[in-house]
A and B are shown apart, each in its own frame.
Chain A
């Protein structure tokens, strides 16, 4: 009897030890898998994310539509307003373009005028499959990818204004990081001044310009904000947003605290265009 009990205990101990070992092994292997995911090149691991987005695009879109319908700030009421905004943005771009052209004429004493905006660039229209504009992430998933020539950091426009840049791209779809995303940083020019600063997304449909513009610089609410030229990606400044709030910084009263909102209604855009400057 005692011998049987002893055997039973030994078996139980072995089983427990094996179970414990297998748990440790399980944990180790899964951690290893996690580290492989972290260390693997992002272009490989992104395929998982893109596959998920492709498979579940319909439920994701339905969920997005419902939440957007319930949480959207109704700034613009009808489509005619949207058309007006498009024209206003287009005019702003042309004015900026004209001003640059005038400067160049003055500088180069009548040498050949600079080319019209985006001449020679390839414009790829894309439909939006998923929109995420709340919380920390502000991004779009679009139905164009490397097959159409898309690459990271290319600028994306909607309603004639810049809305963001390509963050990640696969063969058929791409992720557009909007400039209101909290991890977005874009060089911008405020109004007609020569002040160039970095604009950082803060979520909630807005972005802030890094607060180091002195209050002596004339900036006011309603001023237009332009994305700066970026060789190979954007050859001319384009409108990106409008200053909605300009107040003295709480910590440093000698500098402006500038809040910028998109030049178009991001919640209503259905398609975007990707600029490929050197196709």
Chain B
């Protein structure tokens, strides 16, 4: 893993999410897309570290610190282990995985926010659904440029060749 490139990418996504995309009503979650990308295209240890880092970045622009670190870390790690069993290479599968991860992580963030007494919006589940759906549609198309930036060869990741 090229960690400098990773840091630049995560910072860029965080700034874009908090700046340019913040004023759109329905928007993709760039950090969620990054989470799935690194969980799918990195080895497990790297996926764990990158998931927690991306979660921390999401917390920096969120309402409270902690919920997204835990949620992204947990689901990113689960996804990295799942990828050892089920290959997620085709775009429709990637879209589905982004959507499912978005729903699960979003719900967990909401529940953890409640634990932290952070009031959530009234239509939180509809917002989570919309963001997950949008990310699922946009995400797979960003995987190729992301792989190019990270110098990752996407075709070497197959179910039976995952580095342990």
Chain A residues at the B interface, C-beta cutoff of 8 Å? 16, 19, 22-23, 26-27, 30-31, 33-40, 42, 45-46, 48-49, 52, 56, 59-64, 66-68, 71, 130-137, 181-183, 185, 200-204
Q: What interface size band does chain B fall in?
A: 35 or more
Q: B70 and A67: CB pair below 8 A?
A: no
- B102 CB-CB contact with A under 8 Å: no
13 example contacts (A-B, Cβ-Cβ < 8 A) are as follows A27-B73, A35-B66, A37-B69, A52-B61, A56-B14, A63-B22, A67-B19, A67-B20, A68-B23, A134-B22, A135-B24, A182-B122, A204-B25
- B144 CB-CB contact with A under 8 Å: no
Give the residues in chain B near A56, CB-CB below 8 Å: 11, 14-15, 18-19
Q: B127 and A135: CB pair below 8 A?
A: yes
Within 8 Å by CB of B122, from A23, A39, A135, A202, lies A202
Known: A34-B69, A182-B122. A134 touches B15 (CB 8 A): no
| Residues 1-53 of B contacting A (Cβ, < 8 Å) | 11, 14-16, 18-27, 44-45, 48-49, 52
Q: How far is the CB of A165 from chain B (nearest CB, A)?
A: 13
Within 8 Å by CB of A71, from B23, B56, B77, lies B23
6 residue pairs, one from A and one from B, having the closest CB atoms:
A63-B19, A182-B121, A38-B66, A37-B66, A45-B65, A63-B20
Q: Which of B66, B70, B73 has the most CB of A within 10 A?
A: B66
Q: Flag B138-164 by CB within 8 Å of A: 1 or 0 each.
A: 000000000000000000000000001
Q: B48 and A63: CB pair below 8 A?
A: no
Q: B49 and A34: CB pair below 8 A?
A: no
**What DSSP secondary structure best describes chain B's contact surface?**
helix
Q: Which of A35, A67, A130 has the most CB of B within 10 A?
A: A67
Within 8 Å by CB of B59, from A37, A62, A132, A133, lies A37
| Residues 72-90 of B contacting A (Cβ, < 8 Å) | 73-74, 77
**What DSSP secondary structure best describes chain A's contact surface?**
helix
Q: How far is the CB of A52 from chain B (nearest CB, A)?
A: 4
- Residue of B whose beta carbon sits closest to that of A131: B23
Give the residues in chain B near A61, CB-CB below 8 Å: 19
- B55 CB-CB contact with A under 8 Å: yes
Q: CA–CA, A35 to B71, complex, Å?
A: 11
Q: A42 and B122: CB pair below 8 A?
A: no
Q: B45 and A38: CB pair below 8 A?
A: no
Give the residues in chain A near B120, CB-CB below 8 Å: 182-183
Within 8 Å by CB of A60, from B15, B55, B66, lies B15
Q: CA–CA, A134 to B10, complex, Å?
A: 22
Within 8 Å by CB of A67, from B23, B60, B64, B164, lies B23
* 11 additional contacts (CB under 8 A) given A45-B65, A183-B119: A27-B73, A30-B49, A34-B55, A37-B66, A60-B15, A63-B16, A66-B20, A67-B19, A67-B23, A135-B27, A202-B122
